[in-house]
Amino acid sequence: MTTKIVIGLDGTETGERAMAFATDLAKLIGSCELLVAYVIEWSPYTFQTPEENAQRHKRREEEVELATSRIVTPAVDALKAAGFAAQGVVRHGDVAETLNAITVENEASQIVVGRASADGIKKRIFGSSTQNLVMHADVPVTVVN
Amino acid sequence: MKTLQHLYLAALAAFMATAASAQEAPGLDDKINQAFADATGPFVSFIFAPFPGTGFPWIVGWLVIAATVFTLYFAFVQFRFFGHSISLVKGDYSDPNDAGEVSHFQALATALSGTVGLGNIAGVAVAIGIGGPGATFWMIVAGLLGMASKFTECTLGVKYRNEYEDGTVSGGPMYYMSKGFAELGLPGGKILAVLFSIFCILGALGGGNMFQANQAHQQIAGIVGDYPGWITGLVFAAIVFAVIVGGLKSIARVTEKVVPFMGVMYVLAALVIIIMHADQIGWAFGQIFAGAFTGLGVAGGMVGALIQGFRRAAFSNEAGVGSAAIAHSAVRTKEPITEGFVSLLEPFIDTVVICTMTALVIIITQQLIVDPATGNYMLNEAGNAIATVDGNSGVSLTSAAFGSAFSWFPFILAIAVVLFAFSTMISWSYYGLKAWTYLFGEGHTKELVFKIIFCIFVVIGAAANLGPVIDFSDAAIFAMAVVNVFALYFLMKVVRQELASYAERLKSGEIRKFEH
């Protein structure tokens, strides 16, 4: 059976370190598939103008397209070039919840993420996405510094 | 169609010129107002005409009868699916793969920010001031019935919307009129759609714009002292321009966040006041029920209370007007009817919750003067409304009621009124734009023309005392309801098919909650 590892990217350099760690891990495991995930922070409970609502579908496609071409596809290509089995996924939602949901859906056995950069007051009150992920994930989580 | 467009543009230009000159030459104000009133008077009197021999405006009857018909036709859908509606808003039935699209919650919040506003604060005070506490009862009844009208129009709005290749959507009554009638093989859908669009543009410029700007200016002037209205108008117009033309979403986003916060704070403040007077809650409800069936001495008795309550509910939640159908059609859902379920919560929140809170606060803080000898309400000197403690009416009555518990609340209320006015303008600029593009086609320049006209009307609305123009604009909003409800009667069977199919699949488990 192939082991699956989810790599959560956030478009910063900590993501690259997470990639490097996950590839080291994959080499040790042997038969291993890497799933590169990028979550676009989004909540269904925000307030929008009617015009924003009318354009939402278009914006969503643009956001997915941008995240795929800038972040996920280059990462997947690099992994494939290095000889790994790899796939990419882009989703909207709460970062921690969605990364965990992707992991559960794909029956992956662990998640590797980079440590998120500090985010002021919001982080002090609600904690960072990384903290939330570590607290609530259904599988082991490795946070790469 | 082309000639019609030209005629319409010419009429609009004349309308604008009239209004603009009213502002430039104050000496001519009265004459121009009079000329405008004479020209539009027959239309306004027609819309607000009472049934013969009564004081009951037929347009209110039209809306309430429609709401009753839809309630019966869909077998009390607003009660049977109330819980399901809340589940939908919570996202229980949302496919996680659709994350990032407009959620049911967002569509509801957007539509609500267009209806919650002056009607809930000033309008209720007017209703209670004239119709007495009993008006509250009839207002709630009309709000509950109106839920079925919203359900019908919003389902159709989503079902017959246009989806364009670039992923944007346009929907609303004009689309279900033209596409729905064509689908059923009925004639005249296009004509109804054009009529609706014309009224919608006029309503957007009037009730959705000038009236709001005017009221906002009066609130600000009430706090900082009197100053020329065009200053408020220019500031408002600049902000509206930045949002709708400049695409400065940040301002709109701030407003859209602050408005719900204000709404929640308003309800909480009302609840606190009601709890402070907990020993009188029973008495207040007693007054509401007694007043509903006897009038407790108000002008017109029970019928007076009924008219005021129905009228206020219809004017406040816009059920049957068709505006909400435009706002809700942006949601991408495989089931148009789910949007109907979500929208039926609007009259509930707007009328049954928020309006009732305002009414209870006014009653419980005893702003209305009771004759100790008879237990009935005393009329004011003119005999047309109930005497109040400080002779207040409208916004100032609500303000005084809240102010009697929290002395600082009138300031918060003034800020709330200004913000509500602004968010209502943003919503109506969109409704008007959709009607405009339906008539003239989509395109950057065409849209820009409407947006600039809209901004000009903000200045005019804040600057001038345009009683007749505002009467006319209100009449235009209700003229939308005449056309819209007429079309709904023909299209309601489409909604019934959707409802039957959905209810069956919900029962069989084909439609089920997603695990989140």
SS3 B352: helix
Angstrom distance (rounded) from CA B400 to CA A57: 45
* Alpha-carbon distances of B34 from B31, B38, B230, B482, rounded to whole Å: 5, 6, 21, 26
Chain B residues in contact with A51 (beta carbon < 8 A)? 244, 430
Residues B270, B361: contact at Cβ < 8 Å?
yes
Distance from CA of B18 to the nearest CA of A (A): 30
Domain range B55-90+122-161+171-508, its CATH number among 1.10.10, 1.20.1740, 1.10.3470, 3.10.260: 1.20.1740
Closest among B122, B211, B239, B207 to B464, alpha carbons compared:
B211
Q: Which of B116, B239, B256 to mutate to test the interface with A (most CBs of A within 10 A)?
A: B256
Q: Does A58 touch chain B (CB under 8 A)?
A: yes
Q: Residue B370: is it exposed, middle or buried by C-beta count within 10 angstroms (0-12/13-18/19+)?
A: middle
Domain extents in chain A: 3-144
Q: State the nearest Cα–Cα gap between A85 and chain B, in angstroms.
A: 24
List residues of B whose CB lies inside 8 A of any A CB.
91, 94, 96, 99-107, 109-110, 113-114, 166-170, 243-244, 249, 252-253, 256-257, 259-260, 326-327, 330-332, 426-427, 430-431, 516
Task: Supply the pTM of this predicted model.
Answer: 0.86
Tell me the count of A-B CB pairs closer than 8 A: 94
- The reply to whether residue A45 touches residue B256, judged by beta carbons under 8 angstroms, is no
- Phi and psi of B225, rounded to 5°? 100, 160
Chain A residues with beta carbon closer than 8 angstroms to that of B166: 58
Q: Which of B89, B94, B102, B250 to mutate to test the interface with A (most CBs of A within 10 A)?
A: B102
Is A52 an 8 Å CB contact of chain B?
yes
User: A3-144 — its CATH code?
Assistant: 3.40.50.620
Give the C-alpha separation, A41 to B412, whole Å.
33
* Chain A residues lying within 8 Å of B333, measured CB to CB: none
Cα separation, B308 vs B321, in Å, equals: 18
Return d(Cα A70, Cα B382) in angstroms, integer. 72
Q: What is the pLDDT of residue B1?
A: 45
Q: Quick check: ipTM above 0.95?
A: no
Residue A114 reports pLDDT greater than 60: yes
In the numeric block, the tokens 């790994």 are attached to A84
Q: Do B257 and A47 touch (CB under 8 A)?
A: yes
B329 to chain A: closest CA residue: A54
* Inter-chain touch B101–A60, beta carbons under 8 Å: yes
Tokens of residue A49, six digits:
């103008």
Strands in B324-368 per DSSP E = none
pLDDT tens-digit map of B326-340 = 999 888 788 999 999
Tokens of A79: 């992994």
- Tell me the CA distances in angstroms from B315 to A49, B35, B118, B211, B302, one per residue in order: 22, 27, 10, 14, 20
| Cα–Cα separations (whole angstroms), residue B354 to B270, B359, B421, B482 | 9, 9, 16, 26
Give, for all 516 residues of chain B, the pLDDT tens digit. Answer: 445 455 455 555 445 545 544 455 445 556 666 777 777 788 888 888 888 877 788 888 899 999 999 999 999 999 999 999 999 999 898 888 888 889 999 889 888 888 888 788 888 888 898 888 999 999 999 999 999 999 999 999 999 999 888 878 889 999 999 999 999 999 999 999 999 999 999 999 988 888 888 888 888 887 788 888 888 899 999 999 988 887 777 776 777 777 788 888 889 999 999 999 999 999 999 999 998 988 777 777 788 888 888 888 887 888 999 999 999 988 878 899 999 999 999 999 999 999 999 999 999 998 888 888 887 888 887 777 888 888 777 788 898 899 998 888 888 888 888 888 888 898 899 999 999 999 998 888 999 999 999 999 998 888 866 567 667 777 888 899 999 999 999 999 999 999 999 999 999 988 888 876
